[in-house]
């Protein structure tokens, strides 16, 4: 990226920077060039995490430092997608409102106003029953398995096309399409026309995204173990950013993740042919994120256990694994 500092690494479609996102965005080199910002910033959790998180009382003030820069770098029809989990108030089974307060403030900014295009919810059926104190010990609450995902935009009509994210029809819909549909007025008052029985390219997805976060033996994790690199402890599944990248961009568009962590967003964009910029302040996380990209693998083969192993491409490889079988 011309005019920006030297990247930590780069691939065919993207660049990763070891820096504070405010420093990169404040250069002005990305102004008006970004089609989509999709990110998972540190949440306002009660327990401090190694990747850094701000307490709920200060969270909105902290995030707004970035928000004005996000507005500036986005194209007029660009979007900002924020995956942000909720938090519990200290010492009691009640919920913080910090992520709702952030949403309201982002839509109130005077000169850098965002519109709430739509709220999404990510349901992770594999999430453990937490918080344990209120769920498994006192049994006063059920497990917290849904995160909010705010889709914001600079314009009421941002670039978006749900035909890019259609799903296969359900078995019941397939059966209805085979049998044919008779137009009728439903008891709810909805007048369903004959168009309901038309076979299109698929089913329009809802704003509830059911994605199990069960990564345990991916290339990224196996390579981190082999190299002795700390993996990022709070990675979202690739299917989450992939949905929004496909929904809100087209090949060649530019996607930014200002809190990149292990750079799941960059990996998704690389595979989908989108240009990308990733920024994070912790070198260990960016070092491990290299394993997501083929550019940094000299070879790939299957070991005696049937698992694929890799060698990092570098002047002096950080680790080496002798192949048990031929590549």
**148 and 121 Cβ atoms separated by less than 8 Å:** yes
Residue in the block written with tokens 């970004």: 34
Q: Judge whether residue 297 has pLDDT over 90.
A: no
Q: Judge whether residue 101 has pLDDT over 70.
A: yes
In a domain, 39, yes or no: yes
Q: 215 with 320, same domain?
A: no
Q: Judge whether residue 20 has pLDDT over 80.
A: yes
pLDDT, mean over the chain: 83
Q: Residue 75's pLDDT band (boundaries 50, 70, 90)?
A: very high
What's the pLDDT tens digit per position in 204-252? 899 999 999 887 767 788 778 877 888 887 788 999 999 999 999 999 9
Of residues 168 and 108, more confidence is placed in 108
Number of domains within the chain: 2
Residue 49, CB-side half-sphere exposure with 13 Å CA sphere: 16
d(CA 158, CA 156): 6
State residue 321's pLDDT score: 38
Q: 287 with 309, same domain?
A: no
In a domain, 185, yes or no: no
Q: Could you give the 3-state DSSP secondary structure of residue 117?
A: strand
What's the full length of the chain, in residues?
Answer: 327
In a domain, 189, yes or no: no
In a domain, 179, yes or no: no
The 8-class DSSP code of residue 203 comes to: B
Q: 15 with 88, same domain?
A: yes
CB atoms within 10 A of CB 285: 23
In a domain, 45, yes or no: yes
- From its phi and psi, is residue 263 left (phi > 0), alpha (psi between -120 and 50) or beta? left
State residue 183's pLDDT score: 58
What's the pLDDT tens digit per position in 133-189? 999 999 999 999 999 999 999 999 999 999 999 988 776 666 666 666 665 556 655
Q: 91 with 233, same domain?
A: yes
State residue 4's pLDDT score: 82
Q: What is the CATH number of the domain that holds 61?
A: 3.40.50.150
- Strand-strand pairing, 34-39 and 254-257: parallel
In a domain, 2, yes or no: no
**245 and 255 Cβ atoms separated by less than 8 Å:** yes
Q: 301 with 276, same domain?
A: no
d(CA 301, CA 299): 7
- Comparing 4-18, 49-63, 125-139, 230-244, the range with the smallest average pLDDT is 49-63
Structure tokens at 121: 């919810």
Q: Residue 317's pLDDT band (boundaries 50, 70, 90)?
A: very low
**37 and 258 Cβ atoms separated by less than 8 Å:** yes
Q: 74 with 108, same domain?
A: yes
In a domain, 86, yes or no: yes
Sequence-distant (6+) residues with CB within 8 A of 309 are 222, 226, 300, 301, 302, 303, 321, 323
Interval 38-45 mean pLDDT: 82
Could you tell me the residue range of the domain that residue 311 belongs to? 297-327
Percent above pLDDT 90 for the chain: 56
Interval 24-36 mean pLDDT: 96
In a domain, 238, yes or no: yes
Q: Residue 305's pLDDT band (boundaries 50, 70, 90)?
A: low
State residue 90's pLDDT score: 85
């Amino acid at each position: 990226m011309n005019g920006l500092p030297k990247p930590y690494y780069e691939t065919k479609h993207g660049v990763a920077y070891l820096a504070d996102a405010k420093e990169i965005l404040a250069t002005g080199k990305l102004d008006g060039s970004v089609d989509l910002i999709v990110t998972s910033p540190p949440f306002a959790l009660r327990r401090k995490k190694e990747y850094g998180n701000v307490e709920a009382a200060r969270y909105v003030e902290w995030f707004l430092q970035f928000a004005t820069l996000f507005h500036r770098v986005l194209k007029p029809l660009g979007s900002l997608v924020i995956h942000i989990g909720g938090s519990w108030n200290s010492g009691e089974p009640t919920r913080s409102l910090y992520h709702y307060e952030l949403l309201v403030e982002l839509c109130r900014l005077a000169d850098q106003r965002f519109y709430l295009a739509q709220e999404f919810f990510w349901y992770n059926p594999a999430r453990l029953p937490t918080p344990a104190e209120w769920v498994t010990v006192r049994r006063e609450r059920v497990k917290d398995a849904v995160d909010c995902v705010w889709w914001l935009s600079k314009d009421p009509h941002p670039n978006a096309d749900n035909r890019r994210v259609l799903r296969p029809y359900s078995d019941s819909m397939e059966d209805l399409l085979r049998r044919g549909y008779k137009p009728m007025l439903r008891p709810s008052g909805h007048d369903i026309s004959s168009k309901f029985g038309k076979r299109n390219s698929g089913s329009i997805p809802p704003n509830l995204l059911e994605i199990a976060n069960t990564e345990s033996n991916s290339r990224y994790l196996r390579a981190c173990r082999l190299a002795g690199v700390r993996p990022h402890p709070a990675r979202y599944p690739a299917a989450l950013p992939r949905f929004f990248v496909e929904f809100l961009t087209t090949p060649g568009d530019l996607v930014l993740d200002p809190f990149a962590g292990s750079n799941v967003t960059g990996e998704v964009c690389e595979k989908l042919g989108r240009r990308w910029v990733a920024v994070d302040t912790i070198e260990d996380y960016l070092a491990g994120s290299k394993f997501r990209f083929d550019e940094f693998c000299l070879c790939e083969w299957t070991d005696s256990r049937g698992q694929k192993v890799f060698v990092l491409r570098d002047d002096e490889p950080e680790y080496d694994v002798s192949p048990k079988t031929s590549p």
